[in-house]
Structure 1
Amino acid sequence: MREIVLDTETTGFDPQTGDRIVEIGAVELMGHVATGKTYHQYINPEREMPAEAFEVHGLGDEFLRDKPKFAAVGQAFLDFVGDSKMIIHNAAFDMKFLNFELAKMGLRQLPWEQAIDTLAIARKKFPGSPSSLDALCRRFGIDNSSRTLHGALLDSEILAEVYLELIGGKQPDFGLSTQAAPKAGEPSAEWSPRPRPTPLASRLSEKENAAHAEFVSKLGGDALWLKD
């Protein structure tokens, strides 16, 4: 299952009053595991950056002046997302800006059903508790010390960790699947991490191995560890 964890940074709060997207960051997950594939784009908003937006994002007019306009990157963004579910914190905000820009280009808009809102999940799971991204990082012990400014790609990477905790950890389905395993030589329909080329060395000391062997020897011939 492919999912896209997504974040945008903007000049303000409402595209209808002239605010625009200045940055998009996205992280690809396959089977709830980050693949390392990302989408990241700074965007020229075609307007001056308000002082308050600069303080939040650290992105100034000089930096953004030579960046592409949304019209130049909108199709590439849609191609990256495809029909995958989008994991977004406060999805209504980002979807509003993205669909405004896509509509201006005459491109297909992203349906609301394609978005999974982690803010809504957090509020339902922890009613009455703070649900900002920073608050959820503190709750789950996720390191966000590098988040001194809001950045779309960094926030997406952090949100990916938060999302996995919200749905029950990094293996929410415990790897169970009702799909039949592919036959030998056939490609799997689902991506899965490759095994390590070199297995990790055991962390058990000789003393611990000896203690374990002594313990098992006292369990009799039916001990699980003695069976093939």
Structure 2
Amino acid sequence: MTFDPFFFMKGRLGGSQGRQSHQQVAYMRQLQREMKVEETLNIPLTDLNVIVFDIETTGFYPDQGDQIISIGAVKVKGDEIKEKETFYSLVRSEKKISEEISQLTGLTNKELDHAPLLSEVLFEFFQFTQDYTLVAHHANHEKIFLQHASWKLYRAPFKHRLVDMSFLYRIAEPDQKLVTLEECCEHNGIPIHGRHHALYDAKLTAELWSIYVNKLRQKECYSLTDLYERYTIA
């Protein structure tokens, strides 16, 4: 079996909170039916439209009750960050968040008590992303939560192509051992601010994407297909 580093999701069971409407469910199912992720494979990275995003959560295991508490995203085309085309929302939590999570994210239980439900936020997020390729730093975390929530809320699989930034690092700079977002930003001279705020982290990751699109081009790696082929050989 070939491992796909771009996480083309087929969907699995999961769960999260919310009261989704028939309109939301119908929209999500239609979006997934019309998803044409394969068409993005050969678009030059310098022309590819992507949504770079980040989520903050109460933990790592949605099937054990951990929840999304905020989502942030920004649109990017090639190496151009669309600064005015962003998405950000808090998400109401079903249970009180811990002091540790509050200190890490800067979010309070009072803020989350008045935030919209996940069903509303996720619906608006997918309206923002449409069928764009998604990008995240260490994307497995985002994959698990979106996969989980999409199926539980809408009975629709999560089929967006999701590219993990770590694959770009490995191909563009195989001798560098970059792991954390801080390490990647410091290595590339990107000032770090607003860590663990979903939108700020998304913007930091977007800056990295714009840099590595050009680093990959210098390596004659021009598309997601090229990136995939390089990764399987590496």
Tell whether the structures are fold-level matches, with TM greater than 0.5. Answer: yes
Greater Cα shift, 99-108 or 2-11: 99-108
Judge conservation of contact 1:91–1:115 (CA < 8 Å) in 2.
Answer: yes
Residue of 95, 111, 114 corresponding to 2:143: 95
Q: Distance in 2 between matches of 1:120 and 1:55?
A: 30
Q: Does 1:84 align with 2:126?
A: no
Q: CA offset at residue 141 of structure 1? A: 0.4
Q: Distance in 2 between matches of 1:20 and 1:29?
A: 27
Q: Which has the larger radius of gyration?
A: 1
Higher relative contact order (CA 8 A, sep 6+): 2
Corresponding position of 1:161: 207
Q: Distance in 2 between matches of 1:27 and 1:18?
A: 28
Q: Distance in 2 between matches of 1:127 and 1:43?
A: 39
Q: Distance in 1 between matches of 2:123 and 2:94?
A: 18
Q: CA offset at residue 126 of structure 1? A: 3.6
* Structure 2: runs of 5+ lacking an equivalent: 1-47, 223-234
Q: Distance in 2 between matches of 1:79 and 1:37?
A: 13
Scaled by the length of structure 1, the TM-score of the pair is 0.68
Letter in 2 for 1:163: W
Letter in 1 for 2:115: K
SS of equivalent to 2:95? coil
Q: CA offset at residue 107 of structure 1? A: 4.8
Letter in 2 for 1:153: L
Cα 1:82–1:107 shift into 2, 3 Å: farther
* Structure 1: runs of 5+ lacking an equivalent: 178-228
Question: What do you get for the CA RMSD once the two structures are aligned?
Answer: 2.2
Structure 1 residue ranges, 4+ long, deviating more than 6 angstroms after superposition: none
Q: Distance in 1 between matches of 2:91 and 2:55?
A: 10
Corresponding position of 2:53: 6
Paired positions, count: 170
Q: Greater helix share, 1 or 2?
A: 2
Q: CA offset at residue 120 of structure 1? A: 2.9
Q: CA offset at residue 57 of structure 1? A: 0.5
Q: CA offset at residue 130 of structure 1? A: 3.1
Q: Distance in 2 between matches of 1:12 and 1:80?
A: 25
Cα 1:140–1:95 shift into 2, 3 Å: same
Q: Does 1:120 align with 2:167?
A: yes
SS of equivalent to 1:163? helix
SS of equivalent to 1:141? coil
Letter in 1 for 2:98: P
